Amino acid sequence: MLDLTYETPKPKIIAGATHDWELVIGMEVHAQIASNAKLFSGASTEFGNEPNSNVAFVDAAMPGMLPVINEFCIEQAVRTGLGLAAEINLWSAFDRKNYFYPDLPQGYQISQLYHPIVGEGEVMVDMEPGISRLVRIERIHIEQDAGKSIHDMDPNMSFVDLNRTGVALMEIVSQPDIRGPEEAAAYMVKLRQILRYLGTCDGNMQNGNLRADVNVSICLPGQYEKFIETNDFAHLGTRCEIKNMNSMRFIQAAIEVEARRQITIVEAGGEVNQETRLYDPDKGETRSMRSKEEAHDYRYFPDPDLLPLEIEQSWVEEIASSLPELPDEKKARFMKDFLLSDYDATVLTAELDSAAYFEAVANRRDGKLSANWVINELFGRLKKDDKDITQSPVTPYQLGGIIDLIEHGDINGKIAKDLFEIVYIQGGDPAKIVQDRGMKQLTDTSAIEAAVDKVILDNPDQVEKAKANPKLVGWFVGQVMKATGGKANPKAVNELIAFKLRL
Amino acid sequence: MSDLNKLTLSAARDLLRKKDVTSVELTEACLQAKSAGMALNAFVHDTSEVALEQAKAADNRLAEGDASSMCGIPIGIKDLFCTKGVPSQAASKILDGFRPEYESTVSQKLFDGGAVMVGKLNMDEFAMGSSNETSIYGDVVNPWKVDQRNLTPGGSSGGSAAAVAGDLCLAATGTDTGGSIRQPAAFTGIVGIKPTYGRCSRWGVVAFASSLDQAGPMTKSVRDAAIMLETMCGHDPKDSTSADLAVPNFEACLTGDIKSKKIAIPKEYRMDGMSEEIEKLWAEGTEMLRDAGAEIVGVSLPHTKYALPAYYVIAPAEASSNLARYDGVRFGRRANISAGDGITEMYEKTRAEGFGPEVQRRIMIGTYVLSAGFYDAYYNRARRVRTLIKKDFDDVFAKGVDAILTPATPSAAFSLGDMATMDPVQMYLNDVFTVTVNLAGLPGISIPAGLDAQGLPLGLQLIGKPWKEGDLLNTAYALEKSVGFVEKPEKWW
């Protein structure tokens, strides 16, 4: 791990009618493994295809069909484990989780209950500069996704789409280390970032490729510390699991309302039932998914169609040696090598593509200046057009050219912004544009001096005022800039005016 | 040439190679025998047209000099194997109308070798039964008869056994989860081998209990079994439990020489109340092997008595999960549902109507032993027993034993209907000598060894070392020669 010094954030406190309450949150994140083929079949995983077009016989659980492990999915899970500094289990096994549902053709989901492929790891969740929560990962296991039941296409019938059936998922299970809704969302953000860096999950929450089940309980201040000390869950409240959330906003909101619901129950002398709940964003509430009588007994047992999964340490090491630089390392390096602030480094490393773009720009240039241009100008402009960094019409080479012109004193900041807009809209080589359009700033002091002299001569009243109030010097600067078409070097203008007015 | 259907596979092969007979002639003889043998109720789906096409193609291949052993041989395929475009229902109502769009690996290998499919064979529903009385197509009748009583051919591969014993085809595929090849082979006086678990691909075979299921041949002689097994087995990347091992030339293993081979007689297989006839048969078999030059040793397989209960926990547990896919959603038969019925009612009605009582019983047992609170007491304990049973065998083989000789069944074939009123456990006792072999994943072969006092065939079982089917077949071949079993059922159908 990196040697990062940080402070732990304070847990969120919610004031109830009688007490203050703290939250304890654990998350089970389902991340679709980035892979072209499914976990146990060769069928495509492409999103948005015609219903039931990505279906192999085994996905439809046709009689006599058998699963065969897709090795690439295993590699992706191992890579994820390594990226979360987790223990890799060289021996793992698949189990069947049995339940009936039309979008689960086999009548069981192949998962890993007893022997997951990845053991304990950790994620550093950044809350504010210097303040981070270390969330421990309990395990990661591999499992099949289910299909989709469609109930709203016909009044009398339901339809099933098996395109998603059998797609590989990683279930990343955290310890109950998350202490508030904001931390939960930040954990998701960080996890998503790491997965995207690793290339093991595209993190597309809208398509459901990353979604979370959130376990929420409440406790009185001090109880959590007792739990940490003893690892005895009796110190904590009864948890409820809010299922299947695919937006950071919903995660936060759901935790908030669920915590309040539990507080209301407990403060009224009631008891929270351990159950699975769904968040309804329209009504802003969570509600029970199934009653106790409907509770499933999943009858887990080892899948006899699959031999235990044994992998070699050397293979794990091979994967480890190919791991990319991860967000924490990259951020630290940016802060050190480019002298960036924590904030700038965080923004620039949020996405691998942004970081790569920035590095290309900042290479042998001023880091801070490059960061400002990438974050403020480029990101701002892209956002206006609803584009992401990969769609930027301005290449790092072009932006670097603009920055070079600034650094060499060829153009000033204002002209640079105009130039950027020209490059953004029309493209072209910045240096050539400046040359062709005469945008070079005046560094010839005699020309600037002439302009300054003219402004002073034409405005004796202003000169008097400025002498009395030196703050008015800005007015002169503005006039000179106007007279020179904005091309005068602002520093030189300032110095000359101050000199001429004897300020 | 008359009675071509009565040929052994190997004799037919030799005649085909010599061009003394054509596959079409052989096939037509079998199709006629099949039509004449309706009373046996062995075949369930007619594939005569496919058979004749395949036979013509095989004749072309033979004319071009194809020397594949199975080329042109008419065989029957158990209904548990998925055969492309041909009804494959595992003898269950719930798979009504199901025609797979794929061919099981085992049947594909046979067809690639030029074998001809005479038809699909009756069986116990989902291979669950030991008397072929649980089939949706009705009981299979054993070609052997006593006092005009209809006897069971055994199960679950009862159709395969009856078809081969009754000369409706030259050989057949079977599957064996707890004895489903070996017990019916013994009941009908034919040879049946269950190879080592992982030898034959399970891809495309309707699953009963995945960790126990194995396909194998059911034939008229040990040589036939060697020939057919060689074509059926081999590594299949589509089945993760299939072994990546080369397939030996099994027929070449049949030297008949078993001098100084060590054959073990396990004392735990001498059950209380075992009939004298079985006892005598076993002793005679032992002497024959001794006379052939084998060394006979007594051994102990101490956990044998726990095998049957362990089997009847593990097999139903896996079955309860394997059969969950028959839900009326995607294929097979869906029950008519009433207005207002939801998905739960659809499942309940479909499965209640689609599965027979024995299948339902095993699903319920399996569901029970896997449920929370009972899992450790039943399923996990049964798995531990299984490990101990496997170790029993490992220990015996580690002492230099080459094969183990046991009876194949506790009795000869019984009357159809006899078990109807009995406790199901009585039926399960049929598997007492065979389930250990499945639990340990070993190869086992049943060969006819004599007739009982009523004139019904009895079988002996030889159990071999893992992946040593060649040696096992050779020992069986030596015993077959000594026994000289030539009796055939008297044709009554």
Query: Is A4 inside any structural domain?
Result: no
The span from the CA of B240 to the CA of A68, in Å, is: 6
Q: What would the DSSP string read from start to end of B381-443?
A: HHHHHHHHHHHHHHHHHHTT--EEEEES-SSS--BTTTTTTS-HHHHHGGGTTTHHHHHHT--
- Least CB–CB distance from B321: residue in A98, A158, A160: A98
Residues whose CB falls within 8 Å of the CB of residue B118, separated by 6 or more in sequence, listed in order? B27, B30, B31, B34, B43, B47, B48, B51, B74, B75, B76, B163, B168, B169
Identify the pLDDT of residue B425: 83
Residues A364 and A451 in one domain: no
Under the phi-then-psi rule, with left for phi > 0, alpha for psi from -120 to 50, and beta for the rest, what region is B101? alpha
- Least CB–CB distance from B203: residue in A66, A297, A301: A66
- Least CB–CB distance from A307: residue in B98, B101, B240: B240
Q: Which of residues A287, A320, A353 is at a domain's end?
A: A320
| Count of other CB atoms within 10 angstroms of residue B411 | 17
Q: Which of B360, B339, B342, B343 is nearest to B93 (CA)?
A: B360
Do residues B161 and B190 lie in contact, with contact meaning Cβ atoms separated by under 8 Å? yes
Query: Is A2 inside any structural domain?
Result: no
The span from the CA of B180 to the CA of B104, in Å, is: 19
Q: What angle, rounded to 10 degrees, do the helices at A71-83 and A313-321 form?
A: 60
Residues A286 and A350 in one domain: no
The span from the CA of A243 to the CA of A260, in Å, is: 17
pLDDT digits (tens, 9 = 90+) for A13-32: 999 999 999 999 999 999 99
Q: Is B92 designated active site?
A: no
Query: Is A7 inside any structural domain?
Result: no
Identify the pLDDT of residue A1: 43
Judged against a pLDDT cut of 80, whether residue A293 lies above it is answered with no
Judged against a pLDDT cut of 50, whether residue A447 lies above it is answered with yes
- Say whether residue A293 is in contact with chain B using an 8 A CB cutoff: no
- The mean pLDDT of A45-59, rounded to a whole number, is 95
pLDDT digits (tens, 9 = 90+) for B430-442: 899 999 999 999 9
Q: Which residues in chain B touch residue A57, judged by CB atoms under 8 angstroms apart?
A: 101-102
**C-alpha gyration radius of chain B:** 21
The span from the CA of A444 to the CA of A124, in Å, is: 53
Residues A271 and A416 in one domain: no
Q: For an interface test with B, which of A39, A40, A65 has the most B Cβ atoms less than 10 Å from its Cβ?
A: A65
Q: For residue A69, what is the nearest residue in chain B, using CA coordinates?
A: B240
Judged against a pLDDT cut of 60, whether residue A4 lies above it is answered with no
Of the candidates B69, B92, B160, B180, the residue annotated as catalytic is: B180
- Say whether residue B425 is in contact with chain A using an 8 A CB cutoff: no
DSSP H/E element including B172? strand B171-176
Residues whose CB falls within 8 Å of the CB of residue B335, separated by 6 or more in sequence, listed in order? B328, B346, B349, B350, B352, B353, B354
Identify the pLDDT of residue A155: 86
Of the candidates B78, B145, B194, B468, the residue annotated as catalytic is: B78
- Say whether residue B82 is in contact with chain A using an 8 A CB cutoff: yes
Average pLDDT, chain A: 93
Paired tokens of B6: 């009565």
Q: Which residues in chain B touch residue A108, judged by CB atoms under 8 angstroms apart?
A: 321, 324
Measured between alpha carbons, how far is residue A22 from residues A179, A256, B11, B345, B466 in Å?
Answer: 7, 11, 84, 44, 61
Q: For an interface test with B, which of A69, A103, A299, A306 has the most B Cβ atoms less than 10 Å from its Cβ?
A: A299
A212 three-state secondary structure: strand
Do residues B183 and B434 lie in contact, with contact meaning Cβ atoms separated by under 8 Å? yes
Residue A299: give the domain boundaries. 13-320
Residues A293 and A382 in one domain: no
Query: Is A1 inside any structural domain?
Result: no
Q: Where are the beta strands (DSSP E) in A68-120?
A: 91-92, 95-98, 108-111
Measured between alpha carbons, how far is residue B75 from residues A20, B2, B173, B359, B430 in Å?
Answer: 79, 18, 8, 28, 27
pLDDT digits (tens, 9 = 90+) for B430-483: 899 999 999 999 999 999 999 999 999 999 999 999 999 999 999 999 999 999
Judged against a pLDDT cut of 90, whether residue A490 lies above it is answered with no
Judged against a pLDDT cut of 80, whether residue B393 lies above it is answered with yes
Taking the mean position of all CA atoms in its chain, how far away is CA B168? 17
Confidence of residue A443 (pLDDT cuts 50, 70, 90): low
Residues whose CB falls within 8 Å of the CB of residue A453, separated by 6 or more in sequence, listed in order? A500
Q: For residue B206, what is the nearest residue in chain A, using CA coordinates?
A: A64
- The mean pLDDT of B26-38, rounded to a whole number, is 97
Query: Is A6 inside any structural domain?
Result: no
- Say whether residue A380 is in contact with chain B using an 8 A CB cutoff: no
* Residue B486 C-alpha, separation from nearest chain A C-alpha, in angstroms: 37
Alpha helices in A199-242 (DSSP H): 223-230
Alpha helices in B201-267 (DSSP H): 222-232
Residues A195 and A159 in one domain: yes
pLDDT digits (tens, 9 = 90+) for A342-393: 999 999 999 999 999 999 999 999 999 999 999 999 999 999 999 999 999 9
**C-alpha gyration radius of chain A:** 30
- Say whether residue A64 is in contact with chain B using an 8 A CB cutoff: yes
Judged against a pLDDT cut of 70, whether residue B207 lies above it is answered with yes
Q: Which of B90, B108, B115 is nearest to B213 (CA)?
A: B90
Bond before B156 cis per omega within 30 degrees: yes
- 127-166 of A, contacting B, C-beta below 8 A: 158, 160
| Lowest-confidence segment of A180-189, A407-416, B213-222, B439-448 by average pLDDT | A407-416
Which string of b and e fits A206-242 if b means at least 16 CB within 10 Å? Answer: eeebbbbbbbbbbbeeebbeebeeeeeeebbbebbbb
Greatest C-alpha distance within chain A? 99
Query: Is A143 inside any structural domain?
Result: yes
Interchain proximity A108–B95, CB inside 8 Å: no
Q: Which residues in chain A touch residue B237, judged by CB atoms under 8 angstroms apart?
A: 68
Judged against a pLDDT cut of 90, whether residue A2 lies above it is answered with no
- Least CB–CB distance from B325: residue in A61, A69, A160: A61
β partners of residue A98? A108
- Least CB–CB distance from A68: residue in B205, B240, B325: B240
Contacts of range A335-344, beta carbons closer than 8 Å, 24 or more positions apart: A337/A367, A338/A362, A338/A367, A338/A368, A338/A370, A338/A371, A339/A367, A339/A368, A340/A367, A340/A368, A340/A371, A341/A129, A342/A129, A342/A130, A343/A129, A344/A368, A344/A371, A344/A375
Interchain proximity A107–B205, CB inside 8 Å: no
Residues A68 and A32 in one domain: yes
If one compares A396 and A6, the residue with the highest pLDDT of the two is A396
Judged against a pLDDT cut of 90, whether residue A292 lies above it is answered with no
Judged against a pLDDT cut of 60, whether residue B1 lies above it is answered with yes
Residues A50 and A137 in one domain: yes
Identify the pLDDT of residue A486: 80
Q: Where are the beta strands (DSSP E) in A151-297?
A: 159-161, 168-174, 210-219, 240-245, 275-280, 285-288
Judged against a pLDDT cut of 90, whether residue B167 lies above it is answered with yes
Residues A303 and A328 in one domain: no
Judged against a pLDDT cut of 60, whether residue A239 lies above it is answered with yes
Q: What would the DSSP string read from start to end of B446-486?
A: EEEEEE-TTS-EEEEEEEE-TT-HHHHHHHHHHHHHHH---
Residues A149 and A172 in one domain: yes
Q: Is B107 designated active site?
A: no
Query: Is A38 inside any structural domain?
Result: yes
pLDDT digits (tens, 9 = 90+) for A310-319: 999 999 999 9
Average pLDDT, chain B: 96
User: At residue B224, what is the residue type?
Assistant: D
Q: How many domains does chain A have?
A: 3
Under the phi-then-psi rule, with left for phi > 0, alpha for psi from -120 to 50, and beta for the rest, what region is B180? alpha
Residues A337 and A432 in one domain: yes
The span from the CA of B34 to the CA of B133, in Å, is: 20
Interchain proximity B100–A106, CB inside 8 Å: no
Q: Which of A263, A215, A281 is nearest to A242 (CA)?
A: A215
Do residues A306 and A67 lie in contact, with contact meaning Cβ atoms separated by under 8 Å? yes
Residues A234 and A378 in one domain: no
pLDDT digits (tens, 9 = 90+) for A107-165: 999 999 999 999 999 999 999 988 999 999 999 999 999 999 998 999 888 899 999 99
Residues A239 and A115 in one domain: yes
Judged against a pLDDT cut of 50, whether residue B31 lies above it is answered with yes
Do residues B77 and B30 lie in contact, with contact meaning Cβ atoms separated by under 8 Å? no
Q: Is B78 designated active site?
A: yes
Query: Is A134 inside any structural domain?
Result: yes
- The mean pLDDT of B389-393, rounded to a whole number, is 98
Q: What would the DSSP string read from start to end of A275-298?
A: EEEEEETTTTEEEESS-GGG----
Paired tokens of A169: 């998922």
- Say whether residue B359 is in contact with chain A using an 8 A CB cutoff: no
- Say whether residue A71 is in contact with chain B using an 8 A CB cutoff: no
Interchain proximity A63–B102, CB inside 8 Å: no
Q: Which residues in chain B touch residue A147, judged by CB atoms under 8 angstroms apart?
A: none
Do residues B263 and B292 lie in contact, with contact meaning Cβ atoms separated by under 8 Å? no
β partners of residue A140? A118, A172
Judged against a pLDDT cut of 70, whether residue A3 lies above it is answered with no
Judged against a pLDDT cut of 70, whether residue B352 lies above it is answered with yes
Identify the pLDDT of residue A503: 65
Q: Which of residues A414, A436, A458 is at a domain's end?
A: A436
- Per cent of chain A over pLDDT 70 is 97
The CATH number covering residue A463 comes to: 1.10.10.410
